[in-house]
Chains A and B, each alone.
Chain A
Amino acid sequence: MRALLLRDLRLAFRAGGGFGLSLAFFLMVAVIVPLGVGPAPATLALIAAGVLWVGALLAALLSLDRIFALDYEDGSLDLLATSPLPLGGVVAMKALAHWLTTGLPLVAASPILAVLLNLPTQGYVWLLVSLAIGTPALSIIGAFGASLTVGLKRGGLLLGLLVLPLYIPTLIFGAEVVKSGAEGASIGTPLAALAAITAGAWAGLPLAAAMAIRANLR
Protein backbone atom coordinates (compact mmCIF):
# COMPACT_ATOMS: atom_id res chain seq x y z
CA MET A 1 0.00 0.00 0.00
CA ARG A 2 2.66 2.45 1.05
CA ALA A 3 4.72 1.46 -1.99
CA LEU A 4 1.79 2.41 -4.22
CA LEU A 5 1.34 5.77 -2.49
CA LEU A 6 5.06 6.55 -2.81
CA ARG A 7 5.08 5.49 -6.45
CA ASP A 8 2.13 7.75 -7.29
CA LEU A 9 3.70 10.68 -5.46
CA ARG A 10 6.98 10.07 -7.27
CA LEU A 11 5.21 9.90 -10.63
CA ALA A 12 3.40 13.15 -9.88
CA PHE A 13 6.65 14.97 -9.20
CA ARG A 14 8.50 13.57 -12.23
CA ALA A 15 8.34 15.25 -15.62
CA GLY A 16 4.82 15.26 -17.03
CA GLY A 17 3.35 14.20 -13.70
CA GLY A 18 1.12 17.24 -13.52
CA PHE A 19 2.05 18.37 -10.04
CA GLY A 20 1.36 22.10 -9.69
CA LEU A 21 -1.07 22.27 -12.61
CA SER A 22 -4.11 22.30 -10.36
CA LEU A 23 -2.48 24.83 -8.07
CA ALA A 24 -1.66 27.11 -11.01
CA PHE A 25 -5.24 26.74 -12.25
CA PHE A 26 -6.60 27.68 -8.81
CA LEU A 27 -4.36 30.73 -8.85
CA MET A 28 -5.60 31.74 -12.30
CA VAL A 29 -9.24 31.48 -11.23
CA ALA A 30 -8.60 33.69 -8.21
CA VAL A 31 -6.81 36.24 -10.37
CA ILE A 32 -9.33 36.25 -13.20
CA VAL A 33 -12.53 36.58 -11.18
CA PRO A 34 -11.76 40.14 -9.91
CA LEU A 35 -11.03 41.12 -13.53
CA GLY A 36 -14.48 39.90 -14.48
CA VAL A 37 -16.62 41.29 -11.67
CA GLY A 38 -14.65 44.50 -11.13
CA PRO A 39 -12.29 45.41 -8.32
CA ALA A 40 -14.82 46.83 -5.82
CA PRO A 41 -13.67 45.42 -2.43
CA ALA A 42 -17.19 45.04 -1.06
CA THR A 43 -18.33 42.93 -4.02
CA LEU A 44 -15.27 40.74 -3.82
CA ALA A 45 -15.61 40.17 -0.10
CA LEU A 46 -19.18 39.03 -0.71
CA ILE A 47 -18.28 36.41 -3.31
CA ALA A 48 -14.80 35.41 -2.07
CA ALA A 49 -15.86 32.26 -0.21
CA GLY A 50 -17.88 30.93 -3.11
CA VAL A 51 -15.25 31.73 -5.72
CA LEU A 52 -12.48 30.08 -3.74
CA TRP A 53 -14.52 26.93 -3.23
CA VAL A 54 -15.62 26.75 -6.86
CA GLY A 55 -11.99 27.28 -7.85
CA ALA A 56 -10.89 24.43 -5.60
CA LEU A 57 -13.58 22.22 -7.12
CA LEU A 58 -12.52 22.92 -10.69
CA ALA A 59 -8.84 22.59 -9.84
CA ALA A 60 -9.47 19.12 -8.38
CA LEU A 61 -11.56 18.18 -11.40
CA LEU A 62 -8.75 19.12 -13.77
CA SER A 63 -6.46 16.32 -12.67
CA LEU A 64 -9.01 13.59 -11.97
CA ASP A 65 -8.77 11.63 -15.19
CA ARG A 66 -5.08 11.02 -14.52
CA ILE A 67 -5.87 8.96 -11.42
CA PHE A 68 -6.62 5.76 -13.35
CA ALA A 69 -6.29 6.62 -17.05
CA LEU A 70 -2.48 6.49 -17.15
CA ASP A 71 -2.38 3.19 -15.27
CA TYR A 72 -5.05 1.81 -17.57
CA GLU A 73 -3.21 2.83 -20.73
CA ASP A 74 0.13 1.26 -19.82
CA GLY A 75 -1.43 -1.90 -18.42
CA SER A 76 -0.53 -1.23 -14.77
CA LEU A 77 -4.18 -1.27 -13.72
CA ASP A 78 -4.62 -4.87 -14.97
CA LEU A 79 -1.50 -5.84 -13.09
CA LEU A 80 -2.58 -4.02 -9.92
CA ALA A 81 -5.98 -5.71 -10.13
CA THR A 82 -4.26 -9.13 -10.21
CA SER A 83 -1.78 -8.21 -7.45
CA PRO A 84 -2.18 -9.11 -3.78
CA LEU A 85 -3.41 -5.60 -2.95
CA PRO A 86 -7.16 -5.25 -2.40
CA LEU A 87 -8.47 -3.07 -5.22
CA GLY A 88 -10.37 -0.88 -2.76
CA GLY A 89 -7.05 -0.14 -1.07
CA VAL A 90 -5.51 0.71 -4.44
CA VAL A 91 -8.31 3.23 -5.05
CA ALA A 92 -7.92 4.75 -1.59
CA MET A 93 -4.14 5.10 -1.97
CA LYS A 94 -4.44 6.66 -5.41
CA ALA A 95 -7.07 9.10 -4.14
CA LEU A 96 -4.81 9.94 -1.19
CA ALA A 97 -1.90 10.56 -3.56
CA HIS A 98 -4.20 12.78 -5.64
CA TRP A 99 -5.16 14.77 -2.56
CA LEU A 100 -1.55 15.14 -1.41
CA THR A 101 -0.48 16.46 -4.82
CA THR A 102 -3.49 18.67 -5.61
CA GLY A 103 -5.69 19.23 -2.55
CA LEU A 104 -3.02 19.86 0.05
CA PRO A 105 -1.07 22.52 -1.94
CA LEU A 106 -4.41 24.18 -2.63
CA VAL A 107 -5.21 24.34 1.07
CA ALA A 108 -1.79 25.81 1.78
CA ALA A 109 -2.11 28.45 -0.96
CA SER A 110 -5.68 29.45 -0.18
CA PRO A 111 -4.93 32.24 2.37
CA ILE A 112 -2.77 34.04 -0.21
CA LEU A 113 -5.55 33.87 -2.77
CA ALA A 114 -8.04 34.99 -0.15
CA VAL A 115 -6.09 38.24 0.00
CA LEU A 116 -6.62 38.73 -3.73
CA LEU A 117 -10.35 38.28 -3.23
CA ASN A 118 -10.54 40.48 -0.14
CA LEU A 119 -11.98 37.80 2.13
CA PRO A 120 -12.75 39.31 5.57
CA THR A 121 -9.87 38.48 7.94
CA GLN A 122 -11.82 36.37 10.41
CA GLY A 123 -12.74 34.09 7.51
CA TYR A 124 -9.14 33.02 6.80
CA VAL A 125 -8.93 30.34 9.42
CA TRP A 126 -12.31 28.90 8.37
CA LEU A 127 -11.25 28.92 4.74
CA LEU A 128 -8.22 26.82 5.72
CA VAL A 129 -10.27 24.52 7.94
CA SER A 130 -13.09 24.00 5.44
CA LEU A 131 -10.69 23.30 2.56
CA ALA A 132 -8.59 20.95 4.69
CA ILE A 133 -11.69 18.98 5.66
CA GLY A 134 -13.54 19.23 2.36
CA THR A 135 -10.89 18.68 -0.33
CA PRO A 136 -10.22 15.02 0.64
CA ALA A 137 -13.86 14.35 -0.28
CA LEU A 138 -13.23 15.94 -3.69
CA SER A 139 -10.37 13.50 -4.30
CA ILE A 140 -12.21 10.33 -3.33
CA ILE A 141 -15.46 11.30 -5.08
CA GLY A 142 -13.36 12.16 -8.12
CA ALA A 143 -11.57 8.81 -7.94
CA PHE A 144 -14.97 7.13 -7.94
CA GLY A 145 -15.96 9.11 -11.04
CA ALA A 146 -12.65 8.26 -12.69
CA SER A 147 -13.21 4.57 -11.97
CA LEU A 148 -16.54 4.75 -13.83
CA THR A 149 -14.95 6.26 -16.93
CA VAL A 150 -11.71 4.25 -16.93
CA GLY A 151 -11.16 2.72 -20.33
CA LEU A 152 -13.23 5.29 -22.20
CA LYS A 153 -11.39 7.28 -24.82
CA ARG A 154 -11.77 11.01 -24.20
CA GLY A 155 -13.66 10.30 -21.01
CA GLY A 156 -12.63 13.61 -19.45
CA LEU A 157 -15.76 15.57 -20.29
CA LEU A 158 -18.04 12.75 -19.20
CA LEU A 159 -16.06 12.54 -15.99
CA GLY A 160 -16.74 16.23 -15.31
CA LEU A 161 -20.46 15.76 -15.93
CA LEU A 162 -20.55 12.76 -13.59
CA VAL A 163 -18.50 14.24 -10.80
CA LEU A 164 -19.59 17.88 -10.56
CA PRO A 165 -23.13 17.07 -9.31
CA LEU A 166 -21.58 14.82 -6.65
CA TYR A 167 -19.43 17.75 -5.53
CA ILE A 168 -22.45 19.97 -4.81
CA PRO A 169 -22.97 19.01 -1.12
CA THR A 170 -19.28 19.54 -0.36
CA LEU A 171 -19.38 22.90 -2.14
CA ILE A 172 -22.50 24.08 -0.30
CA PHE A 173 -21.27 23.21 3.17
CA GLY A 174 -17.67 24.22 2.49
CA ALA A 175 -18.62 27.67 1.22
CA GLU A 176 -21.16 28.00 4.05
CA VAL A 177 -18.43 27.40 6.65
CA VAL A 178 -16.28 30.16 5.15
CA LYS A 179 -19.18 32.59 4.75
CA SER A 180 -20.52 32.10 8.26
CA GLY A 181 -17.01 32.16 9.68
CA ALA A 182 -16.23 35.43 7.91
CA GLU A 183 -19.41 36.98 9.31
CA GLY A 184 -18.57 35.69 12.78
CA ALA A 185 -21.67 33.47 12.86
CA SER A 186 -21.87 29.91 14.18
CA ILE A 187 -20.26 27.34 11.86
CA GLY A 188 -20.93 24.15 13.83
CA THR A 189 -23.62 22.64 11.59
CA PRO A 190 -22.05 23.16 8.16
CA LEU A 191 -18.64 22.08 9.48
CA ALA A 192 -20.09 18.87 10.91
CA ALA A 193 -21.93 18.18 7.64
CA LEU A 194 -18.74 18.80 5.64
CA ALA A 195 -16.76 16.41 7.85
CA ALA A 196 -19.55 13.82 7.61
CA ILE A 197 -19.50 13.94 3.79
CA THR A 198 -15.73 13.46 3.75
CA ALA A 199 -15.80 10.60 6.24
CA GLY A 200 -18.72 8.89 4.52
CA ALA A 201 -17.16 9.24 1.07
CA TRP A 202 -13.86 7.75 2.24
CA ALA A 203 -15.67 4.90 3.97
CA GLY A 204 -17.86 3.82 1.08
CA LEU A 205 -16.49 5.00 -2.23
CA PRO A 206 -13.19 3.04 -2.41
CA LEU A 207 -15.16 -0.22 -2.51
CA ALA A 208 -17.67 1.12 -5.01
CA ALA A 209 -14.82 2.38 -7.21
CA ALA A 210 -13.08 -1.00 -6.98
CA MET A 211 -16.23 -2.71 -8.25
CA ALA A 212 -16.53 -0.22 -11.10
CA ILE A 213 -12.90 -0.83 -12.08
CA ARG A 214 -13.38 -4.60 -12.04
CA ALA A 215 -16.40 -4.23 -14.31
CA ASN A 216 -14.50 -1.90 -16.66
CA LEU A 217 -11.48 -4.20 -16.92
CA ARG A 218 -13.51 -7.18 -18.13
Chain B
Amino acid sequence: MLTAQNVSVARAGVMVLVGVSFHLTAGRALILRGPNGAGKTTLLRAVAGLQPLAGGSLNGGEDDIAYGAHSDGVKPTLTVAENLTFWAQIYGTHLTAPAMAAMQMETLANRRAGQLSAGQKRRLGLARILVTGRKIWVLDEPTVSLDAASVALFGAAVQAHLAAGGAALIATHIDLGFAAGVLDITPFRADAHAPVLSGQFDEAFL
Protein backbone atom coordinates (compact mmCIF):
# COMPACT_ATOMS: atom_id res chain seq x y z
CA MET B 1 0.00 0.00 0.00
CA LEU B 2 2.81 2.35 0.88
CA THR B 3 6.46 1.96 -0.03
CA ALA B 4 9.26 4.21 1.12
CA GLN B 5 12.52 3.88 -0.75
CA ASN B 6 15.68 5.41 0.56
CA VAL B 7 13.76 8.33 2.04
CA SER B 8 15.65 11.22 3.58
CA VAL B 9 13.99 13.97 5.55
CA ALA B 10 15.25 17.34 6.75
CA ARG B 11 13.99 19.67 9.43
CA ALA B 12 14.85 23.38 9.43
CA GLY B 13 17.64 22.83 6.93
CA VAL B 14 19.33 20.02 8.89
CA MET B 15 19.20 16.44 7.67
CA VAL B 16 17.42 14.28 10.23
CA LEU B 17 17.08 10.84 8.66
CA VAL B 18 18.88 9.37 5.66
CA GLY B 19 18.04 6.28 3.65
CA VAL B 20 14.91 4.98 5.39
CA SER B 21 13.08 2.24 3.49
CA PHE B 22 9.99 0.36 4.51
CA HIS B 23 7.02 -1.35 2.96
CA LEU B 24 3.54 -1.23 4.42
CA THR B 25 1.08 -3.90 3.29
CA ALA B 26 -2.65 -4.18 3.86
CA GLY B 27 -3.54 -5.69 7.21
CA ARG B 28 -0.17 -4.87 8.75
CA ALA B 29 0.99 -2.27 11.23
CA LEU B 30 4.48 -0.85 11.41
CA ILE B 31 5.71 0.65 14.67
CA LEU B 32 8.36 3.37 14.47
CA ARG B 33 10.77 3.38 17.36
CA GLY B 34 13.63 5.66 18.27
CA PRO B 35 14.70 7.97 21.08
CA ASN B 36 13.34 11.53 21.43
CA GLY B 37 14.53 13.72 18.61
CA ALA B 38 15.36 10.78 16.36
CA GLY B 39 13.08 12.11 13.63
CA LYS B 40 9.90 10.06 14.04
CA THR B 41 7.60 13.07 13.79
CA THR B 42 9.53 14.51 10.85
CA LEU B 43 9.30 11.21 8.99
CA LEU B 44 5.57 10.90 9.69
CA ARG B 45 4.92 14.49 8.55
CA ALA B 46 6.79 13.75 5.34
CA VAL B 47 4.73 10.58 4.81
CA ALA B 48 1.54 12.58 5.43
CA GLY B 49 2.63 15.09 2.79
CA LEU B 50 3.15 18.05 5.10
CA GLN B 51 6.75 18.47 4.15
CA PRO B 52 8.78 17.54 1.10
CA LEU B 53 11.27 14.71 1.09
CA ALA B 54 14.94 15.65 0.99
CA GLY B 55 15.63 12.51 -0.99
CA GLY B 56 14.24 9.13 -2.01
CA SER B 57 10.66 8.40 -2.93
CA LEU B 58 7.31 7.47 -1.45
CA ASN B 59 4.92 5.41 -3.54
CA GLY B 60 1.25 4.77 -3.01
CA GLY B 61 -1.14 6.08 -0.45
CA GLU B 62 -1.60 9.61 -1.77
CA ASP B 63 -5.33 9.74 -1.07
CA ASP B 64 -5.44 6.96 1.51
CA ILE B 65 -3.63 8.52 4.44
CA ALA B 66 -5.25 9.76 7.63
CA TYR B 67 -2.73 11.69 9.68
CA GLY B 68 -2.94 11.99 13.46
CA ALA B 69 -0.55 14.53 14.93
CA HIS B 70 0.58 15.31 18.48
CA SER B 71 -2.26 17.79 18.82
CA ASP B 72 -5.76 16.59 18.17
CA GLY B 73 -7.22 19.49 16.21
CA VAL B 74 -10.14 19.60 18.61
CA LYS B 75 -12.20 22.78 18.88
CA PRO B 76 -12.91 23.45 22.57
CA THR B 77 -16.15 25.35 21.97
CA LEU B 78 -17.71 22.63 19.80
CA THR B 79 -19.21 19.49 21.31
CA VAL B 80 -17.67 16.06 20.82
CA ALA B 81 -20.31 15.15 18.25
CA GLU B 82 -19.90 18.47 16.38
CA ASN B 83 -16.13 18.01 16.20
CA LEU B 84 -16.46 14.52 14.76
CA THR B 85 -19.30 15.36 12.40
CA PHE B 86 -17.23 18.20 10.96
CA TRP B 87 -14.36 15.86 10.08
CA ALA B 88 -16.78 13.23 8.76
CA GLN B 89 -18.20 15.87 6.40
CA ILE B 90 -14.71 16.95 5.31
CA TYR B 91 -13.84 13.34 4.43
CA GLY B 92 -17.32 12.66 3.04
CA THR B 93 -18.12 9.78 5.39
CA HIS B 94 -20.93 8.97 7.85
CA LEU B 95 -18.80 7.22 10.44
CA THR B 96 -19.40 9.52 13.41
CA ALA B 97 -21.54 7.05 15.39
CA PRO B 98 -19.30 3.96 14.92
CA ALA B 99 -16.21 6.02 15.71
CA MET B 100 -17.75 7.30 18.94
CA ALA B 101 -18.76 3.76 19.85
CA ALA B 102 -15.26 2.42 19.18
CA MET B 103 -13.70 5.03 21.44
CA GLN B 104 -16.55 4.79 24.00
CA MET B 105 -17.46 8.45 23.69
CA GLU B 106 -21.24 8.16 23.34
CA THR B 107 -21.90 9.43 26.85
CA LEU B 108 -19.73 12.47 26.11
CA ALA B 109 -21.31 13.28 22.74
CA ASN B 110 -22.92 16.53 23.85
CA ARG B 111 -20.10 17.65 26.12
CA ARG B 112 -18.07 20.60 24.92
CA ALA B 113 -14.59 19.41 23.95
CA GLY B 114 -13.03 22.10 26.13
CA GLN B 115 -14.45 20.38 29.20
CA LEU B 116 -12.91 16.99 28.41
CA SER B 117 -9.93 15.62 30.32
CA ALA B 118 -6.61 15.23 28.48
CA GLY B 119 -7.22 11.51 27.98
CA GLN B 120 -10.78 12.01 26.75
CA LYS B 121 -9.56 14.68 24.33
CA ARG B 122 -6.98 12.23 23.02
CA ARG B 123 -9.71 9.62 22.53
CA LEU B 124 -11.67 12.21 20.58
CA GLY B 125 -8.57 12.81 18.45
CA LEU B 126 -8.34 9.07 17.77
CA ALA B 127 -12.05 8.86 16.99
CA ARG B 128 -11.34 11.55 14.36
CA ILE B 129 -8.95 9.12 12.65
CA LEU B 130 -11.70 6.48 12.60
CA VAL B 131 -14.11 8.98 11.11
CA THR B 132 -11.91 9.64 8.07
CA GLY B 133 -12.49 6.13 6.69
CA ARG B 134 -8.98 6.24 5.22
CA LYS B 135 -6.99 3.04 4.69
CA ILE B 136 -3.57 4.06 5.96
CA TRP B 137 -3.32 5.54 9.44
CA VAL B 138 -0.22 7.58 10.14
CA LEU B 139 -0.20 8.24 13.88
CA ASP B 140 2.26 10.20 15.97
CA GLU B 141 2.38 8.99 19.58
CA PRO B 142 -1.34 8.18 19.68
CA THR B 143 -1.32 6.88 23.26
CA VAL B 144 -0.01 10.00 25.01
CA SER B 145 -2.12 10.71 28.14
CA LEU B 146 -4.26 7.59 27.65
CA ASP B 147 -4.83 5.23 30.61
CA ALA B 148 -4.36 1.46 30.27
CA ALA B 149 -8.03 0.82 29.45
CA SER B 150 -8.01 3.46 26.71
CA VAL B 151 -4.77 2.09 25.26
CA ALA B 152 -6.49 -1.31 25.03
CA LEU B 153 -9.46 0.40 23.37
CA PHE B 154 -7.12 2.03 20.87
CA GLY B 155 -5.32 -1.28 20.28
CA ALA B 156 -8.64 -2.96 19.53
CA ALA B 157 -9.57 -0.17 17.10
CA VAL B 158 -6.25 -0.55 15.25
CA GLN B 159 -6.67 -4.33 15.09
CA ALA B 160 -10.19 -3.96 13.70
CA HIS B 161 -8.81 -1.52 11.14
CA LEU B 162 -6.08 -3.96 10.12
CA ALA B 163 -8.55 -6.85 9.93
CA ALA B 164 -10.63 -4.74 7.53
CA GLY B 165 -7.66 -4.45 5.19
CA GLY B 166 -6.21 -1.21 6.47
CA ALA B 167 -2.64 -0.44 7.44
CA ALA B 168 -1.03 1.70 10.11
CA LEU B 169 2.27 3.46 10.63
CA ILE B 170 2.58 4.37 14.30
CA ALA B 171 5.30 6.13 16.25
CA THR B 172 5.12 5.07 19.89
CA HIS B 173 7.25 4.20 22.89
CA ILE B 174 4.88 1.69 24.48
CA ASP B 175 3.68 -1.80 23.65
CA LEU B 176 0.27 -1.54 22.00
CA GLY B 177 -0.64 -5.15 22.69
CA PHE B 178 -0.82 -6.56 19.18
CA ALA B 179 1.62 -8.06 16.72
CA ALA B 180 3.24 -5.51 14.47
CA GLY B 181 6.42 -4.97 12.55
CA VAL B 182 8.96 -2.71 14.20
CA LEU B 183 11.18 -0.20 12.44
CA ASP B 184 13.87 1.30 14.63
CA ILE B 185 14.97 4.50 12.92
CA THR B 186 18.02 5.10 15.13
CA PRO B 187 20.48 3.63 12.56
CA PHE B 188 19.19 6.05 9.90
CA ARG B 189 19.98 9.19 11.86
CA ALA B 190 21.87 11.69 9.79
CA ASP B 191 25.16 13.24 10.74
CA ALA B 192 24.06 16.50 12.37
CA HIS B 193 26.37 18.54 10.15
CA ALA B 194 25.38 16.94 6.88
CA PRO B 195 24.08 19.50 4.39
CA VAL B 196 20.65 19.25 2.80
CA LEU B 197 21.07 17.12 -0.28
CA SER B 198 18.59 18.33 -2.85
CA GLY B 199 18.12 21.80 -4.25
CA GLN B 200 15.46 22.99 -1.85
CA PHE B 201 16.99 26.37 -1.34
CA ASP B 202 14.25 27.67 0.94
CA GLU B 203 14.67 24.87 3.48
CA ALA B 204 17.96 26.38 4.51
CA PHE B 205 16.24 29.59 5.55
CA LEU B 206 13.33 28.14 7.45
Which secondary structure characterizes the binding site on chain A?
Answer: helix
Q: How far is the CA of A74 from the CA of B78 in the complex (A)?
A: 13
Residues from chain B with Cβ under 8 Å of A217 in the complex: 50-51
In the complex, the answer to whether A78 meets B86 with C-beta atoms within 8 Å is no
Distance between A132 CB and nearest chain B CB, rounded to angstroms: 29
Binary interface encoding of chain B residues 111-131 relative to chain A, with 1 for a CB under 8 A from any of its CBs, else 0: 000000000000000001000
A interface bracket (residues with beta carbon within 8 Å of B): 20 to 34
Asked if B72 and A74 make an inter-chain contact with CB atoms under 8 angstroms apart, the answer reads yes
Nearest Cβ distance between residue A85 and chain B, in whole angstroms? 6
Q: A10-B82, A82-B65, A215-B202 are in contact. Are A75 and B90 (CB under 8 A)?
A: no
Task: Report the separation of the CA atoms of residues A78 and B70 in the bound assembly, to the nearest whole angstrom.
Answer: 10
A74 to B49, CA, bound (A): 19
Q: Which of A79, A84, A215 contacts B73 (CB 8 A)?
A: A79
Query: C-beta contact mask, A59-89 vs B, less than 8 Å → 1, else 0?
Result: 0000000000001001110111111110000
Contact residue among A76, A78, A84 (Cβ-Cβ distance under 8 Å from B75): A76
Asked if A4 and B70 sit within 8 Å, CB to CB, the answer is no
- Choose from B75, B86, B87 the contact partner of A74 (Cβ within 8 Å): B75
| CB pair A11 B77 closer than 8 Å | yes
Beta-carbon contact of B92 and A75 below 8 Å: no
Q: Are B86 and A7 in contact (CB under 8 A)?
A: yes
* A82→B67 contact, CB < 8 A: yes
**B67 contacts which of A16, A79, A84 (Cβ < 8 Å)?**
A79
Q: What B residues does A2 contact at CB under 8 A?
A: 89
A3 and B90 contact, CB distance less than 8 A: yes
Q: Which of A10, A83, A218 has the most CB of B within 10 A?
A: A218
Q: How far is the CB of B83 from chain A (nearest CB, A)?
A: 9
Known interface pairs A4-B90, A82-B65; A75-B78 also in contact (CB < 8 Å): no
**Docked CA distance A118–B18 (Å):** 69
Contact A85 B73 (CB under 8 A): no
Given A71-B73, A215-B202, A218-B52, 5 extra CB contacts under 8 A:
A74-B76, A75-B71, A75-B72, A80-B73, A218-B203
Listed in ascending order, the chain B residues whose CB lies under 8 Å from chain A are 48-52, 63, 65-67, 69-78, 82, 86-87, 89-92, 128, 202-203, 206
Listed by A's residue number, 7 A-B pairs whose Cβ atoms lie within 8 Å are A7-B75, A11-B75, A74-B76, A76-B73, A79-B87, A79-B128, A215-B202
